[in-house]
């Protein structure tokens, strides 16, 4: 057993009994929205998973411990501390552990800790990917590398619209990561259901999602599986509106000289401002939608 891993009693009991468990990230709590909305949303997502027959496991690093399952008090702590919590990717784990510091887990680190704990399904908002202009900057999210090597199914609303979606799909293909469209043949683009890009396969039921991932594991194929679940129609934003906001946000980011891990938080906050807060409401709804599907899929594992 990893001496730095702490699995909450509820999650440990569920895993031991073979009950469905769904991992959740914590960057959305500390960096995704302001307090107290961040904590309220995190608790809503956990309750949505419970309502659909699974146990939630919010993942974070607290005091140097890799937490698989956070208590309400720990979620409150992360929410209040906000952006003072380090946004932790794979490279950050050793130092945060050694220094006994806190870290909010990205898709990458949530996958790592979920796999350590034996959790197979993870619900999030959107994955990172190849950033626009990556031909010059080499700015490619660690999420893609993690999907290529860590055996966790990631259920999301597609790659974030701020990315180069075509290059992101090419990268995933090269790494052998299956990109599944849940009930769709088109890659959803986070705030909107439409991107103009196709997925590898369409799957229409949680049962088939679970069966496909179990077949991948049984064949000894390394890496995860990406399930893209479109935002519900009533919350989807027009592609033209989002594209215009993203283009303006990108111009402002470049003018401000922002780069690296600060890019995504800056762009998401700027898009929220430019859309009058509509993008934040959409963000919350798509996460709840992904949590429902993740719980139903986790319940189908045999």
Check if the beta carbon of residue 87 is closer than 8 Å to that of residue 27: yes
Torsion angle, alpha carbons of 95, 101, 106, 109, to 10: 50
Cα–Cα distances (Å) from 30 to 79, 81, 137, 216, in that order, read 5, 7, 27, 33
Cα–Cα distances (Å) from 169 to 174, 186, 263, in that order, read 9, 12, 20
Cis link prior to 162 (omega < 30° from 0)?
A: no
Please state, as a whole number, how many other Cβ atoms lie within 10 Å of the Cβ of residue 103.
Answer: 26
Q: Is 100 a catalytic residue?
A: no
Tell me which of 87, 120, 160, 272 is the catalytic residue.
160
What is the Cβ-side half-sphere exposure of residue 265, based on CA atoms within 13 angstroms?
18
Q: Are strands 153-156 and 179-182 parallel, antiparallel or unpaired?
A: unpaired
Nearest CA to 106 out of 93, 94, 119, 117 is that of 93
Q: Is 160 a catalytic residue?
A: yes
Beta bridge partners of residue 61, listed in sequence order: 66, 103
Active site (catalytic) residues: 25, 160
């Amino acid at each position: 057993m990893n001496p730095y891993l702490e699995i909450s009693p509820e999650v440990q009991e569920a895993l031991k009994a073979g009950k469905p468990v769904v991992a959740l990230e914590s960057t959305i709590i500390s960096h995704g929205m302001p307090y107290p909305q961040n904590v309220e949303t995190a608790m809503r997502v956990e309750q949505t998973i419970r309502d659909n027959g699974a146990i939630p496991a919010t993942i974070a690093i607290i005091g140097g411990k890799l937490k698989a399952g956070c208590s309400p008090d720990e979620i409150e702590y992360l929410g209040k501390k906000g952006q003072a919590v380090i946004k932790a990717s794979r490279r950050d784990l050793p130092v945060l552990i050694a220094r006994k510091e806190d870290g909010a887990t990205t898709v990458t680190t949530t996958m790592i800790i979920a796999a350590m704990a034996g959790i197979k399904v993870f619900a999030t908002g959107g994955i990172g990917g190849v950033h626009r202009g990556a031909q010059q900057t080499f700015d490619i999210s660690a999420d893609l590398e993690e999907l290529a090597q860590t055996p966790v199914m990631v259920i999301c609303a597609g790659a974030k619209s701020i990315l180069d979606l075509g290059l992101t799909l090419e990268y995933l293909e090269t790494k052998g990561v299956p990109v599944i469209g849940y009930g769709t043949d088109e890659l959803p683009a986070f705030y909107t259901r439409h991107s103009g890009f196709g997925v590898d396969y369409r799957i229409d039921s949680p049962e088939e999602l679970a069966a496909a991932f179990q077949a991948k594991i049984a064949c000894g194929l390394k890496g995860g599986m990406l399930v893209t679940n479109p935002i519900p129609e009533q919350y989807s934003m027009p592609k033209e509106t989002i594209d215009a906001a993203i283009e303006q946000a990108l111009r402002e980011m470049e003018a401000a000289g922002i780069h690296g891990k600060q890019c995504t938080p800056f762009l998401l906050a700027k898009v929220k401002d430019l859309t009058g807060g509509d993008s934040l409401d959409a963000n919350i709804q798509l996460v709840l939608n992904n949590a429902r599907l993740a719980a139903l899929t986790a319940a189908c594992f045999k």
